[in-house]
A and B are shown apart, each in its own frame.
Chain A
Amino acid sequence: AQSVTQLDSQVPVFEEAPVELRCNYSSSVSVYLFWYVQYPNQGLQLLLKYLSGSTLVKGINGFEAEFNKSQTSFHLRKPSVHISDTAEYFCAVSPRSNDYKLSFGAGTTVTVRA
């Protein structure tokens, strides 16, 4: 089984400031790692994913994340946020197996202020 911990439930940040959202996971098997964003009353949109290879992954909208196997972390960063980045962010993992079931963290609410 897998579990995901998002260390910050709410992150307020000023426009054009950097932001980091922390995610740690535990699993007895190898996993794939994902970050999704959810805007109000909408479904989830894939921001980025780590499957293999380079541990620094770049995604859409200027986001990037770094996989750290020894620390079992997959933190999400953006160097300069916009008002439009206000949303809920979910970290998720799935086992490298046929069912690919996702286990989600509790989510981090990012509020960007002018």
Chain B
Amino acid sequence: GAVVSQHPSRVICKSGTSVKIECRSLDFQATTMFWYRQFPKQSLMLMATSNEGSKATYEQGVEKDKFLINHASLTLSTLTVTSAHPEDSSFYICSAREWGEETQYFGPGTRLLVL
């Protein structure tokens, strides 16, 4: 099956710093990537959708200047949490979809802790 990786798996940072999370599709070309946020014991909340070579589309209530998304190639998307604060601590999960395919394949997630 299709494999999606995320790096890092865990990150701890100080308040006010920026953190970059990478999402890679390892064996297919991901024309669309999605970024989700998941709070403990809750479902996934879609943050944004990014198509390769285009600007990301953010869901209502998600600050685009806070969560910078870049999808510069067909196998890599990055999420940068800028000026992170403790309330940004969460589990961030990406998924990827190939053109013409209806299924999203998920990465293993990144646990972010902001102190």
Contact = CB atoms under 8 A, between A and B. Distances in A.
Interface of A: 32, 34, 36, 41-46, 49, 51, 90, 94, 96, 99-102, 104-107
A102 B6 contact: no
Given A41-B109, A41-B111, A43-B93, A104 B44 contact: yes
14 contacts: A36-B106, A43-B4, A43-B109, A46-B103, A49-B102, A49-B103, A90-B44, A99-B49, A100-B97, A100-B104, A101-B49, A102-B34, A102-B104, A107-B42
Interface residues of B, number: 23
Contacts of A104: 43-44
Interface of B: 1, 4, 6, 32, 34, 42-44, 46, 49, 91, 93, 95, 97, 102-109, 111
